[in-house]
Structure 1
Amino acid sequence: PCSKRKTCSDIIPSLWEDYSISYSQSLDALSLLGANYEKIVEILTNRTAEVYSLDTSSVFFDCTNFYFEIDAEDLLRRKGPSKENRTDPILGMDLLLDRRCIPIGMRLYPGNQSEKPVLRSAVKDMKKHLSLQGKTVQVADKGLNCAQNIYEAKKGKDGYLFSRSVKTLPQIEKEWVLKDGDDEWKWVYDEEGKKKYRYKSCIDMFSYSFVMSGTGKRKKFSTKEKRIATFSPKLAKKKKMEIAKMVSKASRLCTSQAKKSEYGESAKYMRFVSIGKDGAESGNEVAAEINEEAIAKDMELAGYNMLVTSETEMEEKEIYKVYHQLWRIEESFRILKSELDARPVYLQDGNRIKGHFLVCYAAVLLERIFQILILKDRFSAHAISELIRNFNVIQTNRLQYVNTGTRTPLIEEMCKYYSLPLNNYFLTKGQIKKVLGYRFTPLP
């Protein structure tokens, strides 16, 4: 999954088997795949379920987007909030993982669409395509936490586990989170006995409301919910450093009389006031000053987080553990964007673009199956990518090849359990075919 011109000029010629595929043929193949990408994702998911089985008692969901360095928008690539804070047209991608963090769904959508409705349709489609009847707990971050997603989850007899920003809580709930009673907070320690995080929880009926699409009427409902407040010293330290960095940037710009647009994210710690020549707050001049109140509020909330869930019987530490599996989705997006060279995308046709990201998704799926189900999560995705990229041989004569790969812990493990000659310096054609044709079973 990289530039298709590079695929044809560099990747395909270096493969063990001989393939004769032209650049135009690869583009035609992408068009065919892209036109049917949703069907192919469904086929991949069902086949994964047949071979390995899937655990959909919990599903993890998140979205990302990919920018395109083009001027004009089209039906697929539209301007919207970019993850890289760029102004180029973007394409949105959602990713759905099962409880073991195996990809089970992917969809592409125009970059100007909101991410929140995508969660509802993704879970609905997954249950339909896999013929699932049981309860599924939807896990997502605060960006996807909205009243309608909670309502639809309950309506579909599913559960939910979302995070929520403490900053946006009503004052009475914010005071409960920040209250430092030793009898309420419970510390969790790591293996070395150091404080990892602390938590406290409550169960109550909470009210929500949202405007229904189509009718424009406001829907109100109440639901029984467990809320867990957490505080992480490590996260608090990181957040405070980020705040200090933004304040420092704002202070430097303030002294140089920079434009408001130059402050970026640090603008939230500034106060911009129109002043006249007499210094009064009126006129055409704009003065910038540090907003000490905003800084103090964010410093106070640094390290705190809120988890809200319908699973009132689930233990707090288990809820925390399940939620923090979301990092797997973030890692999957990083794999796409870095390890697998999913960007930049030089394609223009909509179906070819979809075909490109389908190839990327299939690569991530295969890598995750190998990492989590075969290698039992003992090695990182980066280690697997390095193995794939660096397993190269050079032919010295008609029957013998030289292995130029580097010895790594992953290769050592595979040699030990699968008796593969990955560490051999000299390899025969038969040995190479054995490696490439090997069917892996899970590590003991």
Structure 2
Amino acid sequence: MGTRSAPKAWRAVWQYSTKRAVRDNRTLNAQETRARAVIDGTTPAKTTRFVTLRGDARTLDQASLERARSLVGLKGYVTNLPVTVMTATEVIGKYHDLWHVEQSFRMSKTDLRARPMFHHTRDAIEAHLTIVFTALAIARYLQDHAGTSIQKLIRTLRPLQEITLTIAGQPHTAADPLTTDAITILENLEIPYT
């Protein structure tokens, strides 16, 4: 891990990962193979990384390929926070936590069935965002406390229904039987069931 700073502007934090290096090497090898196929004429010429076009001549951009290989396994993070506020390790940790936010937004589009809405007034826009973020917060809470994905929660609990009918002045309740998964979820959420 290393750090590079520009005074009063930004700093870059670099982290090396062997797992990332393996993935980067695989990607670079595939890109080099594709570039060589374009140069040989076996693949149609498109914008391909590491191919230099000069007129009709195509050559492998060896300098760019070597530069890319020298960075294999490295990932950079840019921040404007000084090291006195957040260490390099904390910067990397915060960036790694961003996947939770990204996962939440993917979840909101699919599992919560959030669709594009077209509002024209500030009040309507703010109301819509409030509802979406409230649903997202509830979904995250349920997911964290149930110990399962929101998709599984919905799939398990949605079919369960309970109905109360009044016949001759007497209430009668009928409910779907709880599955083992539903019981586990309800217990994890500390919701009483009978």
What TM-score does the superposition give when structure 1 sets the normalisation length? Answer: 0.34
Residue 65 of structure 2 corresponds to residue 291 of structure 1? no
Cα distance, 1:350 vs. partner?
Answer: 4.7
Measured at CA, do residues 335 and 393 of structure 1 come closer, stay the same or move farther in structure 2, by a change above 3 Å?
closer
Does residue 320 (structure 1) correspond to residue 87 (structure 2)? The answer is no
Whether contact under 8 Å (1:271, 1:288) holds in the other structure is yes
Residue 186 of structure 2 contacts residue 192 of structure 2 at CA under 8 Å; is this kept in 1? yes
Gaps of 5+ in 1: 1-198, 207-221, 275-285, 422-430, 432-444
Residues 4-52 of structure 1: CA deviation (Å, up to 9, x unaligned): xxxxxxxxxxxxxxxxxxxxxxxxxxxxxxxxxxxxxxxxxxxxxxxxx
Residues of 1 paired with 2:20 and 2:104: CA distance? Answer: 22
- Name the residue aligned to 2:173: 399
Residues 300-329 of structure 1 deviation map (CA, whole Å, 9 limit, x = unaligned): 102213344314254443332223211122
Q: How does 1:119-138 map to 2 (within 5 A)?
A: none
Q: What residue identity is the alignment partner of 1:271?
A: T
Find the counterpart in structure 2 of residue 337 from structure 1.
109
* Contact in 2 for aligned 1:250/1:270 (Cα 8 Å): yes
Cα contact 2:143–2:153 (8 A) shared by 1: no
Contact 2:147 2:188 in 1 (8 A): no
Q: Say if 2:31 and 2:49, in contact at 8 Å, map to a contact too.
A: no
- 8 Å CA contact 1:240–1:299 kept in 2: the answer is yes
Q: Which residue of 1 aligns with 2:168?
A: none
Q: Which residue of 2 aligns with 1:239?
A: 24
Q: Does the 8 A contact of 1:271 with 1:290 survive in 2?
A: yes
Question: In the TM superposition, what are the counterparts of 1:21-32 in structure 2 within 5 Å?
Answer: none
SS at match of 2:97: helix
One-letter amino acid of the counterpart of residue 291, structure 1: D
Amino acid at match of 1:399: T
Pick closer, same or farther for the CA change 1:405–1:251 going to 2, 3 Å.
Answer: farther
**Counterpart contact for 1:394–1:404, Cα < 8 Å:** no
Q: Tell me the TM-score normalized by structure 2.
A: 0.68
Partner of 2:147: 379
Q: Does the 8 Å CA contact 2:160/2:178 hold for their aligned counterparts?
A: yes
Q: Which has the larger radius of gyration?
A: 2
Q: Distance in 1 between matches of 2:106 and 2:188?
A: 30
CA 1:224–1:289 in 2, change beyond 3 Å: closer, same or farther?
Answer: closer
1:288 is paired with a residue of what secondary structure? strand
Separation of aligned partners in 1, 2:82 and 2:109: 34
User: What is the aligned-residue identity percentage?
Assistant: 18
Residue in 1 that maps onto 2:13: 228
Give the Cα–Cα distance (whole angstroms) in 1 for the partners of residues 188 and 142 of structure 2. Answer: 17
Counterpart Cα distance in 2 of 1:357 and 1:271: 49
Superimposed CA distance per residue, residues 277-311 of structure 1 (whole angstroms, 9 cap, x where no aligned partner): xxxxxxxxx33333232222112102213344314
**Partner residue in 1 for 2:54:** 273
Contact 2:111–2:150 under 8 Å retained in 1:
no
- Structure ranking higher in helix proportion: 2
Change (3 A) 1:253 1:295: same
Of 64, 82, 86, 1:310 maps to 82
In the TM superposition, residue 368 of structure 1 has moved relative to its aligned partner by 2.5
CA distance in 2, matches of 1:417, 1:250: 54
* Contact map agreement 1:390 1:406 (CA 8 A) in 2: no
Q: For the residues of structure 1 that align with 2:153 and 2:66, how far apart are their CA atoms?
A: 48
The answer for unaligned runs of 5 or more in structure 2 is 166-171
Q: Match of 1:331, as an amino acid?
A: Q
Superposition RMSD in Å: 3.7
Q: CA deviation at 1:337?
A: 3.4
Query: Distance between the aligned counterparts of 1:355 and 1:405, measured in 2?
Result: 39
Cα distance in 2 between the residues matched to 1:351 and 1:224: 38
Letter in 2 for 1:325: D
